Amino acid sequence: MDNQYPMPESIGRFQLVEEVGEGAMSIVYKAFDPEINRPLAIKLLRGECAVDPEYRYRFLQEAKAAGKLTHPNIVTIFDVGEVEQGPYIAMEFLEGQTLEEIMDSEQEITTRDVVIYGIQLAEALDYSHARGIVHRDVKPGNIISPGYGHSLRITDFGIARIDAPNKEHKTRIGSVLGTPQYMSPEQVEGQQVDGRSDLFSLGVILYQLLTGVKPFVSETLTSLLMKIVQEEPAPIDIKKTDIPQSLKAIVEKLLNKNPANRFQTGKELADVLRRVIHEIDEKQQHINESKILPLRIKWTAVMAMVVSLAMILGSYLVYQKQVDTMTELTLDSGGSLADFIAIESAEAVLIQDWVAIETFVQEINDRQQISYLKIFDHRRVLRGSTSLDEVGETLEQSLSGEVLREEGGIVITEAEWQGEEVFDFQAPLIFQNKTIGGVQLGLSQTPLIAAADLTFYTMLGLLLAVVLTVVVVAYLLATGITLPMKLLRKAMRQISQGNYAYRIRQERNDELGLMFKDYNRMAEELQNKQQAEAVTEDETQSDLDTQTPTQTQPQIEPEPEHDDETRIAPAKQPLDAVIGVDDSQELDDDMDDATRIIKRN
């Protein structure tokens, strides 16, 4: 802290804690109010300025200007008074960063955040302008982010102008007030300014937030001011290509040299910025929706998967059971046939009537679908066979394969014969409990396999038909739910956009219909509340108009001198440093000279 102005222990009832900032006109202290037990900031007019009528007037002007403003995006003034050290202002203490510090720290600020900042600042300025107050020094250093959420606060109304009923303004015609790089052309030229000048400054801030550079930069003050008055800034596309076209058009309109071609009120600007927010959100929503699996697809896929698994498992069990059943029937019928042949041919083998045996074999072959039939005697000599060239030969070892059943002397084997899968049945020829030969019967598995395949393809067709039916029904049911949800989402977006008059006209006699009715009731209550607030605001504005006549765009003569940048920040820093000029009076003189040069040109 400067030893020339030691920090007093207290100012009025406020206990001073530390010095946190200083400017050309004032010093800012962190203080504590013991009566309400909260910290606050005290802005005290400097000693040499406190006795100067002009500085004293401007300091009290800030208190009058900011003291009558109550807005969530404007720093709140709690108290104004005078003590031995001079006049002071007590205001809320904010421990965040200035917007300038945030930009200098290169923190990531998304395009959406920039638009949100713009809406907050536009609404705050509109509130101020509607009450006859023009800030005239809107810049990142005079905007504080308290450190929670995305909220911003405008502060430092040190060179603001308030319309008084008697219109007695202490001013010096043609003087230039403000921070050069954020001044409007009419402010640079020392002309009368209104709220549109603040909106130009806001346009400079938005340009800087979007591109990372200021729109007007020069090495000298004179050339800087001439650029502001005469030159257009570089297109935003050159600096950054992913900015929405609508937002670029808004910034270009804000930076128009002619105030009549800019937005005329902060409300008008806030409204179009809200549409940009909706545009950004819609684009992001489409991106997000493209990344997610729609509910109707998800439900349909889940239902199809569940039904498919159930059908596959059921079909497998049915198929397997049917194949097993057909196999058992084939084995039973084959065993019965082999036993019948053994009984019928036993007597002929006993009396060695080989002609009868051969005739019997041919009859069986003609009447039954068999692969082979062989009848042999006790010496395993073939006496009858479906292959006539084998008759008289000795039967070699039986076909090798898996034994499926052995019952009643009949052995059933699954084997391969001449490249064909067969069931091989071997039954003994018994006469008076003596084995006199045997029968070997082969039945092809081809009919059984064909029947099994038919069953398989039938079950597969049934599976596909059921799954397809389930998919169609599930999709239609899911669509029947998602479409009303989409309608409800659209209605909720209307609410988020402030359109409380939007209603859902669709009527449903189900839970979704109850949700629609709940939404309509909510929208109606919000609309009624909005209308009530509008009536209250109109009444308040009417009272203010009765006390202090104001205009939508008050024409305000410029105030003399350049004020300080009072920052409530953790570290002390010179608040009057502007583009390398350390002394406010020197800056004021330089700007007056630059203004005269511009006017001559």
Instruction: Please give the CATH topology (third level) of the domain spanning 96-265+552-600.
Output: Transferase(Phosphotransferase); domain 1 (1.10.510)
State the average pLDDT over residues 258-272: 95
User: Catalytic one among 2, 52, 104, 137?
Assistant: 137
pLDDT of residue 589: 57
pLDDT of residue 542: 66
Per-residue pLDDT tens digits for 339-370: 999 999 998 998 899 999 999 999 998 888 89
- pLDDT for 166 beyond 50: no
State the average pLDDT over residues 268-287: 89
- Is residue 137 among the annotated active site residues? yes
Hey, what amino acid is at 547? Q
Tell me the range of 264-268, 320-324, 344-348, 451-455 where mean pLDDT is highest: 264-268
C-alpha 538/C-alpha 355 separation (Å) is: 125
State the average pLDDT over residues 460-477: 90
Give the model's confidence band at 518: pLDDT under 50 very low, under 70 low, under 90 confident, else very high: very high
C-alpha 326/C-alpha 329 separation (Å) is: 5
Rounded to the nearest integer, the mean pLDDT of the chain is: 82
Which of 159-163, 433-437, 543-547 is predicted least confidently? 159-163
- pLDDT for 586 beyond 60: no
CB-based contacts of 279-286 (< 8 A; 24+ apart in sequence)? 279/244, 279/246, 280/111, 280/112, 280/115, 280/244, 281/112
Give the model's confidence band at 329: pLDDT under 50 very low, under 70 low, under 90 confident, else very high: very high
State the average pLDDT over residues 451-458: 90
How do the residues of the chain divide into helix, strand and coil, expressed in percent and rounded to 5? Answer: 50, 20, 30
Q: Cα(first)–Cα(last) distance of the chain, in Å?
A: 44
Hey, what amino acid is at 536? T
Break the chain into its structural domains and give their ranges: 96-265+552-600, 305-453
Please give the structure tokens belonging to residue 144: 């504080």
Give the model's confidence band at 161: pLDDT under 50 very low, under 70 low, under 90 confident, else very high: low
CATH number for the domain formed by residue range(s) 305-453: 3.30.450.20
State the average pLDDT over residues 542-553: 50
The runs of H, that is alpha helices, within 1-110 are: 47-50, 53-67, 99-104
Q: What whole-number percentage of the chain has pLDDT above 90? A: 35
Per-residue pLDDT tens digits for 111-133: 999 999 999 999 999 999 998 88
pLDDT of residue 149: 60
Please give the structure tokens belonging to residue 559: 């105030």
